Structure 1
Amino acid sequence: MTTPIPSRRTVLKGAAALSLAGAADAVAAAMAPAFAQAPAAPAPIALSAAPGTMPELAGQGPLALFNGALPGPVLRVKKGADLSLAVSNALSESVSLAFQGVRLPAAAAAAAGAAVAPGKTASIRFTAKDAGTFWYHATSPALARRALAGALVVEEAGSSAYASDHVLFIQSFPPESGVPIFPVNGSISPTLQGPASGRTRLRFVNATPVFLRLRLKGPASYAIAVDGQPVSEPFELKDGRIQLAPGGRADVAATLDDADATIIEIETTQDPIRLAVVTPVGPAGPAPSGPPAPLPANALPAQIPLKDALRVELPIGDKPAKPVPSLGKVKVGRSVVLALANSLDAPVSVNIAGHPARLLDGLDDGWKPWWHDTVPVPAKTTVRVAFQADTPGTWSVTAQRGGDGEVVAAATYEVTA
């Protein structure tokens, strides 16, 4: 299923209006009082979970929607600022939320994830510690797959280096016609805009239970963040390809042509599925070359000492053990090496709460130069990750099978002061 690609002539008509709007904003800012009072604290953002349907996208089955929309609203906050939510529940079952990838103190994480009973409203408030692309969703996999989810964008403290910045929140629903349905921001193959001969920031969120192989068909694209955390050295995507595990995110700086659109596709064993289109807008100029500047780093350790690390293993099989086992205790400041041993014939996606982790090399003598909170583990494979424990509390590790999102392993680990 595709949508027509707008011509450059069509989209250029909007450029002058955009320029005039920007000039008007600048004049208004110049006329503002020099000693304006500090703005009042913003009112909590309302998130209302309620039943709904989207037959044109998700078939005739019932969904659980935030604010009646697919997906839920994009929550935006500046790094270091507070995010305040009022979560109401009009479903017939309790709802609790996970803010995937967001580093929180244990008490704040517990408060944010507390169950909201049917007919009740709860307040959630926390400080956005890291800038990056994250997402919120129901902790129940069934509710999350029924669309109770949305993006959370924590913006860098300063001004953005990108003239355009887009979230691409990818969901999926079982096909009724034999063709998989992958709406982006609630639309089929939406058209986005970015600066001609420039770069746009694309924030991909894989809210599906499927491992996605994406390809950007256009000029060079560079990975600038993985799972919300900036990469120290942005790297070019080979042939424009990037893979996203279920629950994973990637920020990409996509270079645009001066006229032709960039096509974003999901690669499959059959024909590719068009995911979105990015059309260049505005006057053309010299195109940028080479990788973009790195994003400002968040406060993560530069080194992870492995010599005296706590070494534990999470076996991943058909069913999670009951009761949920503990992987052990570790003191603040000590490192953890976690072996994710997948015995299944399918790949799994493992979410590690509390601490971003590095993928270790085969001999544990180094690690990949980016962080994960959602770790892809291929079939019949063991993957090792490492992190430095710095936040006291009891944290979860959950493995979900690729394809259907079934929970196939779960455990906890405890960080003590």
Structure 2
Amino acid sequence: MINRRDFLGSMLSTVVVAGTVGFPRFSLAASGSDDPYDYVLTAEPADISLVPGGVTHALCFDGGYPAPIIRGRQGKTLRILFKNRLNEPTTIHWHGLRIPIEMDGVPFLSQPPIAAGEDFLYEFVPPDAGTFWYHPHVNSMIQLGKGLVGAIIIDEAEAVDFDHEEVLLLKNWHVNEDGSFSEFTSPRNAARMGTPGRWETVNGQHKPTFPVPANALTRIRLLNVDNTLIYNIAIPDHSAWVVAIDGSPVNEPYPLQVHPMGPGMRLDLAVVTPAAGESVRIKNAKGRLMFDLVDFQVEASAFKRQAGPVKSLPANPIPKPDLGHAETVNFVFEWEGAISPADKDGNSDPKFWTINRRAWDKMTADYIPDPVARLTLGKSYIFNLRNNTPNSHPIHLHGFIWIVLNSNKKDIVPFHTDTVLLEKNETVQVAFVADNPGRWMYHCHVIEHMKTGLMGYIEVA
């Protein structure tokens, strides 16, 4: 188990630039040295500053935004005492981590909701290193939209060769000019691509400038923690290499051009920073136009890295599916396009999206709908993911990591992921071994799509 002293010592051993520690910029949720936990994490209301001169009455972890970075090590037990100090139930889902179903954080499906004022101990051994994130799976549109999102970094079992690291949370807030929240959704937008926020931030700041050391091999971890937006990541004026997608290392790092990231997705880049006085700008590509996300200003350092190709990260121990004997399961994601149904009181209850012609039904302690598929434990599967809609959908399966095999719309070099961004009218084949027993949520990570039907679960037994 990583104790607080070892954790803080490893953090202080990272880059020192001009007498200051260059990483991290986030608060750390590490517990006291005498506590039997690695972290104590509290969800609570908090006032934060997002827009100039405004106050946002947010929901935060540990009283602020960005949330604390939770950091563990591959193959080592991680114990997180979670305290719910909201005025409503919640849970924590550890997005992308292959952990036991009891720790997955889906209300009723994997654990009872954590009531207001209650605590819950999350304890698991992460088998994979990489960039992951955490968020509730209760009242998701509001709880995520108001700020309950954070990064969980699982370091490799053995140290990897980087001089510096940046963790960047991309989120577009639904706030007005005074900082108050605007509407998170509308039926019109939910039936399309979703309702975008109005204030784009990186780590809670609009177009921030951060210092980085010169001539340093830098690992940039980007996380799309937004409810709705797809970001198209580019660094047009400087060389960058893709080293991991959604937490999983790629076989061979390759130069970044433009990489789309739907909600829930992550991207690890390797960059050798230029000389002091220069800058590295990460941008969001929209068509032919590029818009600034963050500006890294390069400061003098003792590093002497040279630009060029970078080494692969160690592969994670993901079981290899037996494609020759794999069973194929088809999933069609469609737009229902019907008149919004109403509940018994006549209130609108929108359901716009379906998986295999079935919209997700509400789930309670006394009622759990049937799964969209039942899989045999230990067997290999190929999923045909077919998007029959004019909108993109980041499709995420809890508890597993897929290998992406092919697409009918683009050339694919097989890679691992837990979230596949399906373009309109695209069909993608993914494969995996159903080696983790349980009832695993399976949904689009555009929260409005998930809340209006595009969700189900897979049962593995």
**Structure 2 length-normalised TM:** 0.74
Q: Greater shift after overlay, 243-252 or 217-226?
A: 217-226
Structure-2 residue corresponding to 1:151: 151
**SS in structure 1 of the partner of residue 19 of structure 2:** helix
* Structure-1 residue corresponding to 2:243: 224
Match of 2:315 in 1: 297
**Contact residue 258 and residue 284 of structure 1 kept, 8 A:** no
Q: Which moved more, 1:201-210 or 1:42-51?
A: 42-51
Q: 1:375 aligns with which of 399, 404, 420?
A: 420
CA RMSD of aligned residues (A): 3.0
1:387-398 alignment to 2 at 5 Å? Answer: 387-398=432-443
Once the two structures are superposed, the pairs formed by residues 50-65 of structure 1 within 5 Å of their partners are: 50-57=44-51, 62-65=57-60
Q: CA deviation at 1:333?
A: 2.9
Contact 1:310 1:334 (C-alpha < 8 Å) held by counterparts: no
One-letter code of the match for 1:224? V
Partner of 2:365: none
For residue 119 of structure 2, what is the aligned residue in structure 1?
121
Please say if residues 350 and 400 of structure 1, whose CA atoms lie closer than 8 Å, have aligned partners that are also in contact: yes
What residue in structure 2 maps to residue 334 of structure 1? 379
Q: Give the whole-Å Cα distance in 2 for the aligned partners of 1:84 and 1:313.
A: 36
Change (3 A) 1:307 1:57: farther
User: How many angstroms does 1:246 deviate by?
Assistant: 0.7
SS of the aligned residue for 1:203 comes to strand
2:360–2:453 CA contact under 8 A, matched in 1: no
Q: Which amino acid aligns with 1:330?
A: L
Secondary structure class of the residue paired with 2:50: helix
Identity %, equivalent residues = 24
Deviation at 1:75, TM superposition (A): 0.3
CA distance 1:18–1:53, change in 2 (3 Å): closer
Q: Match of 2:216?
A: 198
In the alignment, which residue of structure 1 is the partner of 2:203? 185
Q: Any stretches of 5+ residues in structure 1 without a counterpart?
A: 1-13, 20-38
Moved more, 161-170 or 45-54: 45-54
Distance 2:165 2:42 in 1: 26
2:92 corresponds to: 97
Who is 2:135 aligned against? 137
Q: Is the 8 A contact 2:333 2:353 kept in 1?
A: no
SS at match of 2:415: strand
Helix, strand or coil for the counterpart of 2:416?
strand
* Partners of 1:176 and 1:157 in 2: CA distance: 44
Q: Is the 8 A contact 2:394 2:420 kept in 1?
A: yes
Q: How many residues align?
A: 380
CA contact (8 A) 2:279 2:296 kept: yes
What is the TM-score with the length of structure 1 in the denominator? 0.82
**Paired letter, 1:120:** E
Q: Is the 8 A contact 2:372 2:458 kept in 1?
A: yes
Taking a change above 3 Å as real, the CA distance of residues 395 and 245 of structure 1, as seen in their structure-2 partners, is same
* Partner in structure 2 of residue 49 of structure 1: 43
What secondary structure sits across from 1:267 in the alignment? strand
Deviation by residue 1:47-102 (Cα, 9 ceiling, x = unmatched): 21112333534966642111111121100111122221221122221001110000
1:5-16 maps to which residues of 2 (within 5 A)? 15=17
Q: Distance in 1 between matches of 2:408 and 2:262?
A: 24
User: Which residue of 2 is the match for residue 275 of structure 1?
Assistant: 293
What amino acid does structure 2 have at the position aligned with 1:119?
G
Matches within 5 A, 1:208-357: 208=226, 209-238=228-257, 241-259=258-276, 260-268=278-286, 272-280=290-298, 281-283=300-302, 285=304, 287-290=306-309, 292-317=310-335, 318-320=352-354, 321-323=359-361, 324-357=369-402
Q: Residues of 2 paired with 1:303 and 1:367: CA distance?
A: 18
What's the CA shift for 1:401?
3.8
- Shift in Å, 1:354: 1.4
Residue 350 to residue 322, structure 1, CA distance change in 2 (3 Å): closer
Once the 2 structures are TM-superposed, how far is the Cα of residue 356 of structure 1 from its aligned partner?
0.7
Q: Secondary structure at the match of 2:454?
A: strand
Deviation at 1:237, TM superposition (A): 0.9
Q: 1:380 to 1:98 in 2, by over 3 A?
A: same
Cα-to-partner distance string for 1:176-200 (whole Å, 9 max, x where unaligned): 4699422222223333344423320
* AA aligned opposite 1:52: A
Mapped to 2, the partners of 1:367 and 1:269 lie a distance apart of 22
Structure 2 unaligned residues grouped into runs of 5+: 1-15, 22-32, 178-195, 336-351, 362-368
Is the 1:310–1:330 Cα contact (8 Å) retained in structure 2? no
Structure 2 residue aligned with 1:27:
none
Contact 2:281 2:292 in 1 (8 A): yes
